Amino acid sequence: MVDLRDDNSERVKYSFGEVPVYAEQGCISSYPNYREVAHWHNDIELIAVLSGHMQFSVNGAEVTINDGEGLFVNSKQVHFGFSSDRGECRFICVLIEPFSLCPFGWFAEKYVSPLVAGSPFRAFSRSDRPDLFGAIEQMYAAKSSPASPVMAVSLAMRIWSDLCSFVGLRAQSSAPPQGHAPDSLRNMLAFIYKHYGEKLTLSDIARAGNVCKSGCIALFRQYLRDTPVNYLNEYRLHMAKDMLEKGHSSVTEVSMACGFPSVSYFISLFGKAYGAPPLKYARASRGGEQFIHKKI
């Protein structure tokens, strides 16, 4: 389950103890239907593609990133990665909470606030930003170092320095950046995160965003390229996968806990999303196997 802050943003589980930095390597095939669950957080996000390719959606705008390319996603943007052709993509993801790393108030005012108030996202490559791409790779490698927290702080400052010249600093404005997803959508996503295990209808989701049903559908299509019900099901599948991998529950218990109306419906959706029925997937994951989804 997504852990939410008071403002309904995601509370990230950091990789370096008390240092607010996250670094992990992932594969797009590990997500249902080769698609991350759309989310947002206060942290900035950096993606470095190591092999393959994928698309990335930020507030409804899409960009393709290939092997040797990367993406900066600013704070509080609704975003997700996906592979439209179900091709594999291996990548490193780094998150940095910008204000927690500020040593002085003036530093935040001059070098942090203007950047997070600026461009929602920017693409780059290893060839045009070698220091930035390399720092992302080094951040992931730093997890195995005895001095990993110190290295994380050092690399985070290196990354921020590069972003200041790459993304640029602009005067802070009271108006939200162009292309920002509306609060109504954020509220509906938070509602799904909190209540996915319950019986939910389109009306319930729309009510959480204080919009009508047609307005709810329009927002999901514009910013997530999805329908509200399909997004709900994909989030449920994501949570079901985590439960199955932990091995503490039966297929029936997982289905009920994740809000699916019937076990047969859950089994059908899970098989299409992950390439194997839930029981087979659970047994294989506990044995260290990994399913490579068939292209459909």
Q: Please report, for the chain, the start and end positions of each structural domain, with discontinuous segments joined by +.
A: 21-166, 183-286
Cα–Cα distance for residue pair 25/133, rounded to 1 Å: 14
- Residue among 75, 58, 56, 72 at smallest CA distance from 125: 72
230 φ/ψ angles, rounded to the nearest 5 degrees: -65, -40
pLDDT in tens, the chain (296 residues): 567 766 667 778 899 988 999 999 999 998 988 999 899 999 999 999 999 999 999 999 999 999 999 999 999 999 999 999 999 999 999 999 988 877 778 888 888 889 998 899 999 999 999 999 999 999 999 998 888 999 999 999 999 999 998 887 664 444 444 456 788 999 999 999 999 999 999 999 999 999 999 999 999 999 999 999 999 999 999 999 999 988 878 999 999 999 999 999 999 999 999 989 999 998 887 765 555 444 32
Read off the tokens for 247. 């091995």
pTM: 0.86
What 3 state SS string does 179-197 have? CCCCHHHHHHHHHHHHHCC
Q: Which CATH number fits domain 21-166: 2.60.120.280, 3.40.50.300, 3.50.50.60, 2.40.50.140?
A: 2.60.120.280
DSSP codes of every residue in 51-77? EEEEEEEETTEEEEEETTEEEEE-TT-
Q: Give the CATH number of domain 183-286.
A: 1.10.10.60
